[in-house]
Amino acid sequence: MEVRVRYAPSPTGNQHIGGVRTALINYLFARSQGGKFLLRLEDTDRTRYSDEYVKNLYDTFKWLGFYWDEGPDVGGPSAPYIQSERFALYKEHAEKLVSMGQAYYCFCAEDRLAKLHADAQDEEAGEGGSYGYDRRCRNVDPAEASRRLAAGEKAVIRLKIPLDGTTKFRDALLGDIEWKNADVSPDPVLLKSDGFPTYHLANIVDDHLMHITHVMRAQEWISSTPMHVIMYRAFGWTPPEFCHLPMVLGQDGSKLSKRHGATSLNEFRKNGYLPEALINYVAHLGCSYEEGREIFTLKELEGLFRVEKLNKASAVFDYTKLEWYNGQYIRMKTDAELAALVMPFLAAAGLVAAGSDGAPAPGPAQAAVVLGAMPLVKERLKFLTDAAPMMRYLFEEPALPAPEEFIPKKLDAARAAELLAAAAALLPSCDLADVPACEAAFRAEAERLGAKFGDLMMPLRVAATGSRVSPPLFESIHLVGLEKCLARIERARKLLVP
Ligand code: GLU
């Protein structure tokens, strides 16, 4: 039988790391089994819906670079399943359950239900206690129900939960699970009085109609599963297999949240993470692939994923490890790839030109500097966001540091100024494209001046780049241009000996 799984987000917020993880695990499982991965928008809750969240969902997939396999009309990324386009189907199914005697119309007024709900919360929903709804309409005669409906009375449809006994299901990770039916929410609503389905009904009907074989979702849904299984049986359907994924926690053991760091995909993007790093790291959250190896392409993960390799225990989100992955992937980029990746960050920082939409529009000279700088910064970047501060001196005059910044240890301002003057005198005779030759010339000059090589280089570095820590110096001077650098050196020298 073909494996068919789905990611079924409700577009009530921006995509976050938990959602990405659920989507990725489903995708990897489908691929590892030669099966299908579906995307289904569970947009039944119209009050919390926003187009912006749907756009964010699509953007996330586009950025991550993997897609769902089919939709209602065409395959591929253009058409996921959308529940709000399928409302008639859910109504039909709820009515079918009524006709099968598995569900019933409930005419109870909102205020009565609200009171029951409030009372139940007071009682703290004790062991085995039937809290919330008191099942008053469960025994309304079907003929009377039809009459009341025909008379225009408003009604919801509720599922009949068995009053006693237990419901069992198997979870691929957690094993056999058995719930007392008395502990299942008493007769949950399937169809609201406006004809809209609840999440539970739409979810089960769709999983059945879409031939979903495995439901892999966040652990928070496990308490809904007994009710879902009861609904499958009420329809006379076989439930899919379940696999509830362990929670993702922060380092302090509490559920991963904003307090721990970035959690929404937007933030990770904005903070300069690469999709490859995020995919590789998230795939490893509570799951192993191959001993002693950490970097995998998506294709490799697809082939290696096994449900048996998922941990039962919660996973801890380690930002430091993710940062490590990010650095690794940055170093794997070619110079041209990395230049294209950092360009939007440089444009946002105003270092290269941008079009009216904010997209980078560098001229040929700027593009050449960016490309030329890539070998200098590649080893140093942890995030794409590091590029702008690290490369600012290539495009703008650095702010003049305080005089002390130019002065090597044990020397004074006058000596630092002398060393700067010597560097300025030497530079024009150096071939800046030949770094070893430049270095040799500067070493010889340091010796001639009775100075340490490092002491000759340090003031020059601060003058040319604005900082004691910078990408490689001669390459930097080459990129900035000799004339500009000489002016920067002169500016610094004047600061030291006014
Ligand atoms: N719409 C639910 C969610 O937002 C789906 C749960 C499931 O996968 O069954 O997570």
Residues 389, 424: one domain?
no
pLDDT tens digit sequence for 66-113: 999 986 554 455 568 899 999 999 999 999 999 999 999 999 998 888
Mutational test site, ligand 1, from 27, 42, 219, max ligand atoms within 8 Å of CB? 42
Q: Is 258 known to be catalytic? A: yes
Mutational test site, ligand 1, from 6, 10, 68, max ligand atoms within 8 Å of CB? 10
Considering only CA atoms, which residue is closest to atom 5 of ligand 1? 8
Q: Is 265 part of any domain?
A: no
pLDDT at 5 over 50: yes
Residue 489: its pLDDT value, please? 98
Mutational test site, ligand 1, from 39, 203, 206, 223, max ligand atoms within 8 Å of CB? 203
Q: Is 191 part of any domain?
A: yes
Considering only CA atoms, which residue is closest to atom 3 of ligand 1? 9
206 lines ligand 1 (CB under 6 A): no
Give residue 363's Cα distance to chain centre: 33
Q: Is 319 part of any domain?
A: no
Q: Pairing state of beta strands 175-180 and 189-191?
A: unpaired
| Of the candidates 278, 379, 266, the residue with the CA atom closest to the CA atom of residue 326 | 278
Across residues 307-328, what is the average pLDDT? 96
Asked whether the beta carbons of 337 and 447 are under 8 A apart, the reply is no
What is residue 264's DSSP assignment? B
217 lines ligand 1 (CB under 6 A): yes
Q: Which two tokens stand for residue 491?
A: 């500016």
Q: Is 157 left (phi over 0), alpha (psi -120 to 50) or beta?
A: beta
Q: Select from 215, 245, 275 the last residue of a domain.
A: 245
Distance between CA atoms of residues 161 and 186, nearest Å: 6
Residue 80: its pLDDT value, please? 82
Across residues 119-132, what is the average pLDDT? 56
Across residues 430-438, what is the average pLDDT? 97
pLDDT at 272 over 70: yes
Residues 371, 412: one domain?
no
Q: Is 140 part of any domain?
A: yes
Residues 131, 186: one domain?
yes
Q: Select from 245, 264, 293 the last residue of a domain.
A: 245
pLDDT at 303 over 90: yes
Residue 75: its pLDDT value, please? 45
Largest CA distance in the chain: 109
**CATH number for the domain that contains residue 92:** 3.40.50.620
Residue 129: its pLDDT value, please? 38
Mutational test site, ligand 1, from 221, 224, 248, max ligand atoms within 8 Å of CB? 221
Asked whether the beta carbons of 132 and 185 are under 8 A apart, the reply is yes
Residues 341, 430: one domain?
no
Who's near 115: CB < 8 A, 6+ residues apart? none
9 lines ligand 1 (CB under 6 A): yes
Residue 130: its pLDDT value, please? 39
Predicted confidence band at 126 (pLDDT cuts at 50, 70, 90)? very low
CA of 318 to the centre of ligand 1 (A): 25
Residue 183: its pLDDT value, please? 92
pLDDT tens digit sequence for 20-57: 999 999 999 999 999 999 999 999 988 888 999 999 99
Average the pLDDT over each of 76-90, 245-259, 357-371, 442-456 and give the range with the smallest value.
76-90
Q: Is 289 part of any domain?
A: no
Residues 430, 465: one domain?
yes
Domain containing 420 equals 403-496
221 lines ligand 1 (CB under 6 A): yes
Residues 350, 477: one domain?
no
Q: Which atom of ligand 1 is nearest to the CA of 7?
A: 8
Residues 343, 378: one domain?
yes
228 lines ligand 1 (CB under 6 A): no
Q: DSSP states of 430-446 as a string?
A: S-TT-HHHHHHHHHHHH
Residues 370, 437: one domain?
no
Residue of 115, 168, 258, 382 marked active site: 258
Asked whether the beta carbons of 373 and 471 are under 8 A apart, the reply is yes
Predicted confidence band at 132 (pLDDT cuts at 50, 70, 90)? confident
Determine what percent of the chain is predicted with pLDDT higher than 70.
Answer: 96
Q: Provide the mean pLDDT of the chain.
A: 94
Q: Select from 195, 230, 245 the last residue of a domain.
A: 245
8 lines ligand 1 (CB under 6 A): yes
Find the radius of gyration of the CA atoms of the chain.
32
Across residues 176-182, what is the average pLDDT? 96
Residue 127: its pLDDT value, please? 40
CA of 38 to the centre of ligand 1 (A): 13
Q: Is 13 part of any domain?
A: no
Across residues 327-349, what is the average pLDDT? 98
pLDDT tens digit sequence for 345-399: 999 999 999 999 999 999 999 999 999 999 999 999 999 999 999 999 999 999 9
Q: Is 315 part of any domain?
A: no
Number of domains making up the chain: 3
Residues 232, 103: one domain?
yes
pLDDT at 279 over 70: yes
What is the distance between the terminal CA atoms of the chain, rounded to a whole angstrom?
Answer: 83
Residue 70: its pLDDT value, please? 80
pTM metric for this prediction: 0.91
Predicted confidence band at 423 (pLDDT cuts at 50, 70, 90)? very high
11 lines ligand 1 (CB under 6 A): no
**CATH number for the domain that contains residue 459:** 1.10.10.350
CA dihedral angle for residue 471, residue 477, residue 479, residue 484, rounded to 10 degrees: 130
Q: Which atom of ligand 1 is nearest to the CA of 19?
A: 10
Q: Is 276 part of any domain?
A: no
Residues 352, 418: one domain?
no
Q: How many C-beta atoms surround the C-beta of residue 156 within 10 A?
A: 22
Residues 411, 469: one domain?
yes
Distance between CA atoms of residues 423 and 408, nearest Å: 15
pLDDT at 289 over 70: yes
Asked whether the beta carbons of 442 and 455 are under 8 A apart, the reply is no
10 lines ligand 1 (CB under 6 A): yes
Residues 423, 384: one domain?
no
Residue 77: its pLDDT value, please? 54
